[in-house]
Structure formats: C-alpha cells, structure tokens
Amino acid sequence: MKKSSIIEINWKKQGSWIRDMLIRLIKSLFNLFIDEEKEYIDRKIKQYYDLFYKNGKHPLNREQCEAVVRNRRYNQVIAAAGTGKTTVLAYRIKFLIEEGIKPERIIAITYSRKAAYEMEKRLKEEFGIDMVEIRTIHSFAYKIIRRERGNRLLIVTPEESKNIIREYFKKLLKSSSFFYDSYHKFLENYQRIYPG
C-alpha cells in the first residue's frame, strides 16, 4: 500500500515535468516526420520534373506535384470543380507505375461516369496507360457485392429490409444463448437509463 502512495507522491511532484518532456518528445518526432516528408517530396518532384512540367499536356503546379508524390497511406485531394483533381489523379497513377506499381494493382475511384471516362481517356492519350481499373464509387461497391454474392443479388424495399432483419434477429435469439443473454442485458440497462 505504501508503495502506491510513494508512486503517487512522486508522480505529483514530477508529473508536470514528465508530461512536458513527453510533449516535447512527441513534437520533435512529429517535426522530424514532417522534415523527412518534405525532403522526400522535394526529391521526387525533382526526379520527375520532366513528367510534371514538360511531357504532359497539362503541366502541374507545385501543390499538384506534392499531391501526386505524397507518400502517405491515405491521400485526399480536396479542391473546387475545374481545379485539376482528375489531372492530379492521372499523374498520380502514372507516378505510381513509374515507381514500380503494376497497373493492374491500381484502382482509381471517381464520383461520376463522366469523370471515369475522362480519366480513362486521359491515361490512354497522355500516358499510354490502359490496364488501370477506373470505376465510379457505385460501380466499385457493386463489383464487391457481386464478387461476394455472385448473381444472387436482391433489391429490397425498406420495409422488406426491416422484415429480413427482424427475422434474422429472431433466429439469433433462438439459436445463440450468448446473443440472447447479451440482448436482455442490453434491454435491462437501456430501460434503467431511459425509463418509460
């Protein structure tokens, strides 16, 4: 018992110092990451200078080049209509292929059919690329569903979907004691918190 109170006393005495040190350490690591990312971006833009500024029909500005070469797991480009998002995506695909990614391993997802068509056309005409899969959000989701469900697709109304869920729920209550117990505990807690 005394040990824990000693630890608490030490933490109270040195807690702010430790917290401040950890904050400085995290900031230093973050700044190091940012510096390395900036160096990487600058190096890649120089390496692909001809592609970005000379060879393509649509030369890129600095921000667009950064969006193309940024090496994060997820990259998001937010911009108004007509500012070059499709162009950036086309260059990003070309860049990835130049970096050794196989075209058939790349999927580009667009919002509309028009954008998908424009992307296919631009990749083919400007870069000679035609092995990349380009889909709308909806066609991409539909492809996944078809792959998982085969030809057994069924479109249901909202009322039918409620009935399907209700029936499945009843089956779970009958077949799984764990689900049954969990469900009733949930109801008890819910009624206790939200009576009436």
Q: How crowded is the C-beta side of 172, counted as CA atoms within 13 Å?
A: 13
Structure confidence by residue, pLDDT tens digits, 20-58? 777 888 888 777 777 788 999 999 999 999 989 877 677
Spell out the domain ranges in the chain.
Answer: 76-149, 158-193
Class of domain 76-149: alpha beta
pLDDT(166) > 80: yes
Mean pLDDT of 140-153: 81
Strands 133-136 and 107-110: parallel
The model's pTM = 0.61
- Residue 70 makes CB contacts below 8 A (sequence gap 6+) with 37, 41
Q: Residue 53 CB: number of other CB atoms within 10 A?
A: 13
Q: Which amino acid is at 159?
A: E
pLDDT of 11 reads 52
End-to-end CA distance of the chain: 45
**Digit-coded pLDDT (tens) for 77-134:** 888 888 888 889 999 999 999 999 999 999 999 888 998 999 999 999 989 999 999 9
Within 48-136, where are the H helices? 49, 62-69, 85-98, 113-127
Share of the chain above pLDDT 90, in %: 35
